[in-house]
Homo-oligomer: A and B are copies of this chain.
């Protein structure tokens, strides 16, 4: 793939904190779409509270407002080893270190973005206590459906928000319970059914794999099936999950997904092709990553060695993949459809 020479396109320096007492830890994992010839990115902005020498201050949502939790840095009950979380000694995550919300960015060339100075959608419900993350945007029929991760002390669930104009929006509740994330909805009905990919996280048995489900109305989902599972070894042995919403081509549905290693959580991107009539039937896939952390801005950052996409735009047989780099920057990589097809091999 071709990394944009302007990378990273957006960094924390470009984001104004929501409140004076917050600092921006990252801007990454954005949804992407077009409306009225404008490129729109829906940015995940992660913020923490400014910490002092002895304490970590963590913003959470309580009763629809920001509350600051204070954790002493020498509190022996906690494990601070992962930059993204504060864990109890039994391995359970007690807090996330940052609180994410969604902010809009607009562009006429897909490279230079004008970014809102304030949040567009902020977490508010009990299931969003620890923030809202990783939005995917699907333009379907007359509206844009935004699927996103809701993080809370009860786990990570999947919320749905609708908009027609990226000005006002409507919350449509929780479409999948804990633990699930990486949901993207297909942009049209297939054989009279809506489709989604989702990524449940099992506990004692198995690994985080990609699943497919169908719906008659976009709000109620069923007929869940396993789609793509982790490998025994290699770049995708820890987890696999959906990326940007699939798009239709004359060869079938193309989906760009992510996978990570079990050993060190290095995240790369892969691609697969499904039957045009059935998104649960993968016909071709990439055996090696189509994008893997190599550039400095991908190998260093808030959480190193991550490339992760929630949004892409297809233009003139060219794919613009917007991706989060190292959990704190937004970047762009491009590839033509023909180049992508060359990376896919027949399955089965």
Contact = CB atoms under 8 A, between A and B. Distances in A.
A224 B130 CA distance: 18
B173 A222 contact: yes
Contact of A154 (B152, B209, B217): B209
Interface stretch (A7-15, A177-185, A282-290): A177-185
User: Which of A93, A151, A202, A206 has the most chain B CB atoms closer than 10 A to its own CB?
Assistant: A202
A229 B154 contact: yes
A221 to B, nearest CB: 6
Interface size class of A (residues with CB under 8 A): 35 or more
Interface in A94-152: 126-127, 130, 151-152
Given A220-B221, A220-B222, A206 B155 contact: yes
Interface string A155-189: 11100000000000000011111111000000000
Given A221-B222, A222-B221, A178 B155 contact: no
A205 B93 contact: yes
Nearest to A204: B93
A177 B203 contact: no
Given A177-B180, A177-B211, A180-B177, A154 B206 contact: yes
- Copies of this protein in the assembly total 2
Nearest to A82: B204
Interface string A210-244: 01011111011111111001000000000000000
User: Which of A154, A177, A198, A220 has the most chain B CB atoms closer than 10 A to its own CB?
Assistant: A177
B92 A156 contact: no
Contacts of A214: 220
Given A177-B180, A180-B177, A156 B205 contact: yes
B201 A157 contact: no
A224 B155 CA distance: 13
A213 B216 CA distance: 16
Contact of A156 (B174, B177, B202, B229): B202
B155 A203 contact: yes
A198 B177 contact: yes
A179 B202 CA distance: 5
Contacts of A155: 200, 202-203, 205-206
Interface string A291-310: 00000000000000000000
A177 B178 CA distance: 10
B225 A174 contact: yes
A178 B204 CA distance: 11
A223 B179 contact: no
Contacts of A126: 226
Given A126-B226, A222-B221, A204 B92 contact: yes
Given A151-B205, A174-B224, A214-B220, 4 more contacts: A93-B204, A126-B226, A155-B203, A179-B201
